[in-house]
Structure 1
Amino acid sequence: MTRSDAPPRFAVRRATTADAAAIVALIELNVPSGELLPRSADFVQLHADHFLVAEREGRVIGCVHLDEYAPSLAEVRSLAVVPEAQGLGAGAGLVDALERLARVRGYATVFAVSNSGEFFRRLGYEERHIPELDRERSSVSRYKGVHAKDLGPASHRR
């Protein structure tokens, strides 16, 4: 099979309520390590329009959640990729698609609270202090840093 005949590594699309079980399973893979907070199927179904999934050969291999934090500020949450698909670029593809969705929805800045600072720095994020977030999470945060990326002026479309 030539490179041009090879199936695409993955495709990113908006999640549907039918993806809830696969998304929950992906997130659950990362809960024991403390990297992600658990999400219920009900939560995912209720907020499906805020999730994106990476799919390969009909199987969901990754997910990410765009969560509004303030009118012009959104958070990258629940970013997960199955172990066997790591290294394909699905995580970066999901974040790129999330940024495009955030722009369409009018957010000026997206941020991630994560122990994966190097990953986000490679995607153009910078370590940043967000005063509201610093106050809210200062006593409970188990994460090393906040990384943010400016997308441009917010247009306040949702």
Structure 2
Amino acid sequence: MPVRRATEFDAAAICALIDTYVPSGTLLPRSLDFVTMRCHEFIVATDEEDRVIGCVHLDEYSPSIAELRSLAVAPSAQGLGLGRDLVQATIELATKREYSILFAVSNDEAFFARFGFARMDIPELDRERSEVSRYKGVFAKELGAPAAR
């Protein structure tokens, strides 16, 4: 299944996919306007007919730190390695954009450990997320020092 950068034409499908996981509290909701305005920050996995069956959002947290957010794979496409492909593509994009750290907020430590993420304490993030997220684990991967700008 191909993985590619999202376009504004993918925004509605990305929202629908994210909405699949909102009722369980797995993901936070994203509006169509939010996704459309930030489509260049999303990566999607598509099926043979170019329908979105997976997505992930690379969000800048600070000039040197980015967050991997809204990782979702359609229930019908789970087990095909799309989550792995989306995370790997996000790591590559974050590295290309010269972030020094990529982090994710999740309860699935084992999944992120496979990509070299380790538990990290970010007190500001813990306070910020404690009110809106059921996830308490913050996992980060060092990508290297950014080049001089």
Please point out which of 3, 15, 18 is paired with 1:27. 18
2:53 counterpart SS class: strand
Gaps of 5+ in 2: none
Aligned residue for 1:103?
95
The residue identity in structure 1 corresponding to 2:22 is V
Q: Is 1:53 the equivalent of 2:38?
A: no
Task: Give the total of aligned pairs.
Answer: 148
- Structure 1 window deviating more from structure 2 (140-149 vs 104-113): it is 140-149
TM-score of the two chains, using structure 2 as the length reference: 0.93
**Which digits, 9 at most, give the CA deviation of each residue in 1:132-151, with x for residues without a partner?**
31343345542130111011
What's the RMSD between the two structures over aligned residues?
1.5
The Cα offsets for residues 41-88 of structure 1, whole Å up to 9 and x where unpaired, read as: 111110000000001212211000000101110001000000111111
CA distance in 1, matches of 2:114, 2:62: 25
**Pairing 1:90–2:76 present:** no
Give the secondary-structure state (helix, strand or coil) at the position aligned to 1:137: helix
Identity of aligned residues (%): 63
Structure 1 stretches lacking a partner, 5+ long: 1-9
* SS of residue paired to 2:30: coil
Matched with 2:116 is: 124
Instruction: Please say if residues 105 and 156 of structure 1, whose CA atoms lie closer than 8 Å, have aligned partners that are also in contact.
Output: no
The whole-number CA distance in structure 2 between the counterparts of 1:54 and 1:141 is 25
Query: Secondary structure at 2:55's aligned position in 1?
Result: strand
- TM superposition score normalised by structure 1: 0.88
